[in-house]
Amino acid sequence: MGAEANGHSRALIIDDEDCIRNMLGEMMTSLGIYARHFENPLDALVHVEKAFYHLILLDISMPQISGLELLPKMKAVSPASKFIMVTGCANKENAIQAFRCGAFDFLEKPIDIELLSHSIQRALKVQQTEFKLVKTLNQFEKTNARLIVQKKNEEHMRQWLVETNRALSTLAQNLENTRLESEKQAAETTRKRILPIVTKLCQDQVVFSRYPKELGLLIQYLEGMANNLASDQKMAVLLSQAELKVASLIKLGMSTPEIAEHLNVSPYTVKTHRRNIRKKLKIRNSKYNLKSYLTKESTGPDPLSEYKT
Domain for residue 104, yes or no? yes
- Whether residue 162 is contained in a domain is answered as no
What is residue 155's predicted lDDT score, i.e. its pLDDT?
Answer: 86
pLDDT of residue 14: 94
Residue 175: per-residue pLDDT: 78
**What is the structure's pLDDT at 235?**
66
Residue 56 placed within a domain = yes
Q: What is the mean pLDDT of each run of 10 residues along the chain (309 residues)?
A: 59 92 89 92 93 94 90 93 87 86 89 88 92 89 86 87 83 76 71 73 74 68 55 67 82 86 90 90 82 69 45
Rounded to 5°, angle at Cα 96 from 95 and 102: 90
Say which CATH number the domain at 33 has.
3.40.50.2300
Q: What is the pLDDT of residue 306?
A: 47
Query: Quick check: is 80 in a domain?
Result: yes
What pLDDT is recorded for position 51? Answer: 93
Torsion-angle region of 182 (φ positive above 0: left; ψ -120 to 50: alpha; else: beta): alpha
Residue 298: predicted pLDDT: 53
Q: Of 10, 94, 9, whose CA–CA distance to 59 is shortest?
A: 94
**Predicted pLDDT of residue 222:** 62
CB contact at 8 A, 70 and 98: no
Here the CATH number for the domain that contains residue 304 is: 1.10.10.10
Residues spanned by the domain of 45? 6-111
Residue 67 lies in a domain: yes
What is the amino acid identity at position 227? N
75 belongs to a structural domain: yes
Q: Is residue 121 part of a domain?
A: no
Q: What is the pLDDT of residue 220?
A: 59
DSSP 130-184: HHHHHHHHHHHHHHHHHHHHHHHHHHHHHHHHHHHHHHHHHHHHHHHHHHHHHHH
Letter for the amino acid at 36? R
Say what the pLDDT of residue 252 is: 75
* Total structural domains within the chain: 2
Decide which of 87, 111, 135 is a domain's last residue.
111
Residue 85 lies in a domain: yes
Please identify, among 68, 87, 111, the residue that sits at the C-terminal boundary of a domain: 111
Instruction: From 64, 82, 111, give the residue that closes a domain.
Output: 111
pLDDT for the residue 149: 87
